[in-house]
Amino acid sequence: MAASSPPKARSHASGSKVLRVRRNIAAVSTLMPPPRSRPAVPSSDAPLPAPSSLRRALFVDRDGTLNPDLHYLQDAERLELCRGVGAALALAHQHGYLVVCVTNQSGVERGFYSREDVERIHARLNLLLRPFHTEVDAFYYCPHAPETACGCRKPGTGLFEEARAEWSIDFATSAVIGDRSLDIEAGRALGLLTAHVAPYAGSLPSRAELRERGLVADIEADRFDVAVLRVLAGG
Ligand SMILES: [Mg+2]
Ligand SMILES: [Zn+2]
């Protein structure tokens, strides 16, 4: 069994649920140089864990990144993985990354689907990853519509900070991969290595959205697995 178990699951204060999978992740060496010049980690009132216990994480968006975006998907059976995702996540784990999915699911508050539907989709996603002997270690989702102006909907950083506190994550050695400008915006705000993917033709929105918002991702890749390889190479 894991020498250090992850903390017990609990509900996010704003209502999002976390699905956890027990996993023993090796602590990241604090001797590793910080990867390149990136914005400083913003201050937080939360006490930081001792440096020796910090882990690096690969934060991944869900829809349009791990799986094709089916827009307000309710039925877990329709979920598919994007090409190369299983092998790439397995590789990230082999390199000592915790895999944390952070996803906006405004369909909950809009009434298109329930929290149980979301959790079924996350369980199904990990089922699809099983042949690759890997899994998403934790899912964090925002159930709110944009009008609610919560702190957990990306590009808000609330869910990333919650994950940091619960899994002892070091943002300076962590990365985020997503298909939207809001993924990159959140990653920039936290000092993560940022990777933008456009996994299929006509991906919405495309890199034009990044440019319109004046954002530049550290890594731009068409495919998720290519993005992961570049993250592992340090950018
Ligand atoms: Mg997305
Ligand atoms: Zn929220």
Is 170 in the active site? no
How far apart are alpha carbons 6 and 210 in whole angstroms?
35
Residue 230 CA to ligand 2 center (angstroms) comes to 30
Query: Ligand 2 being an ion, which residues bring their Cβ within 5 A of it?
Result: 142, 144, 150, 152-153
How far apart are alpha carbons 42 and 55 in whole angstroms?
18
Residue 30 CA to ligand 2 center (angstroms) comes to 32
Residue 154 CA to ligand 2 center (angstroms) comes to 8
Percent of the chain beyond pLDDT 90?
Answer: 66
Nearest to 63 by CA among 149, 163, 180: 180
Residue 135 β-bridge partners: none
Is 218 in the active site? no
Whether this prediction's pTM lies above 0.85 is answered by no
Residue 59 CA to ligand 1 center (angstroms) comes to 12
* Structural contact between residues 157 and 14, judged by C-beta atoms closer than 8 angstroms: no
How far apart are alpha carbons 230 and 197 in whole angstroms?
12
The structural domains of the chain, with segments of one domain joined by +, span 11-25+54-232
Q: What is the model's pLDDT at position 72?
A: 85
Confidence at 12, pLDDT banded by 50, 70, 90? very low
> What's the fold here for domain 11-25+54-232?
Rossmann fold (3.40.50)
Q: What is the model's pLDDT at position 74?
A: 86
How far apart are alpha carbons 152 and 141 in whole angstroms?
8
How far apart are alpha carbons 208 and 144 in whole angstroms?
26
Query: Ligand 1 being an ion, which residues bring their Cβ within 5 A of it?
Result: 61, 63-64, 179-180
Residues 6+ apart with CB under 8 A from 48: none
Across the chain, mean pLDDT equals 83
Nearest ligand to the CA of 141 is 2
Q: What is the model's pLDDT at position 211?
A: 86
Compare 53 and 21 and report the one with higher pLDDT: 53
* Structural contact between residues 223 and 179, judged by C-beta atoms closer than 8 angstroms: no
Could you say which DSSP state residue 209 is in?
H
pLDDT greater than 50 at residue 30: no
Confidence at 33, pLDDT banded by 50, 70, 90? very low
Compare 232 and 31 and report the one with higher pLDDT: 232
Nearest ligand to the CA of 103 is 1
Q: Which run of H or E residues covers position 141?
A: strand 138-142
How far apart are alpha carbons 159 and 139 in whole angstroms?
10
Give 101-131 pLDDT, tens digit per residue.
999 999 999 999 999 999 999 999 999 999 9
Residue 147 CA to ligand 1 center (angstroms) comes to 19
Residue 198 CA to ligand 1 center (angstroms) comes to 10
Q: What is the model's pLDDT at position 43?
A: 54
Confidence at 203, pLDDT banded by 50, 70, 90? low
* Structural contact between residues 105 and 118, judged by C-beta atoms closer than 8 angstroms: yes
